[in-house]
Amino acid sequence: MEIVAQHLQHEAVVRTLSVERDLFGRSAFNRYYYATFLEVKASLAKLRPQWAGELAHASVPEVLRGKVKKELSRGRNTAQKMNDIAVVALCQKALSATESLAKIMDEGRATRVAADYHPEIPIVFVAVSDFRLNTVGVQTAQTWPHKARILLVAISSAWKQVHA
């Protein structure tokens, strides 16, 4: 999905007609969001298999801030009682990653909604190879999947320790 987003981003930049630039730009944002969403959904399904089918777009940040955070907090508290400093630190890092990932998913979803459902909000080209939708630059959107993968490693590592 990421490679498709990159191609769409490139096409938005090289097109000369503003309507085509807008359409390809919107699609690039959309695909960067979906690349991120699919990464997150697949990783969360590894943590808890029932999440594979039940995670809707809007519920991902809720699950991260709710169920995932609760489990990691519980694991951190147990590790604190056992004086397991390494697991406490791992859980603390994962809790921070959980909030960061939820913010990325909120930003991505809001941007995707604007791209898909609000054609009156223009894609603004701010440089030769850079454009934005609302306040989100395409170069920021391009980082979402990679950032998500890094954050998911932190979350998964702590989750495995807590559920070992």
Rounded Cα distance between 126 and 47, Å, is 40
Are the C-beta atoms of 64 and 101 separated by less than 8 Å? yes
At 155 the pLDDT is 98
How far apart are the C-alpha atoms of 164 and 149, rounded to whole Å?
Answer: 22
Taking residues 89-99, report their average pLDDT: 98
**Per residue in 12-69, pLDDT tens?**
999 989 999 999 999 999 999 999 999 999 999 999 988 877 778 889 999 999 999 9
pLDDT band of residue 95 (cuts 50, 70, 90) is very high
What's residue 22's pLDDT?
A: 96
- 7, pLDDT greater than 90: yes
Predicted TM-score (pTM) of the model is 0.94
In 10 A of CB 156, how many CB atoms? 16
Give me the pLDDT at residue 118, please.
97
Q: How does pLDDT run across 97-115, given as a tens digit for each residue?
A: 999 999 999 999 999 999 9
What does the pLDDT read at residue 72?
97
State residue 128's pLDDT score. 77
Q: Which residue has the tokens 């951190």?
A: 76
pLDDT tens, residue by residue, 129-155: 899 999 999 999 999 999 999 999 999
DSSP 29-79: HHHHHHHHHHHHHHHHHHHSTTHHHH--TTHHHHHIIIIIHHHHHHHHHHH
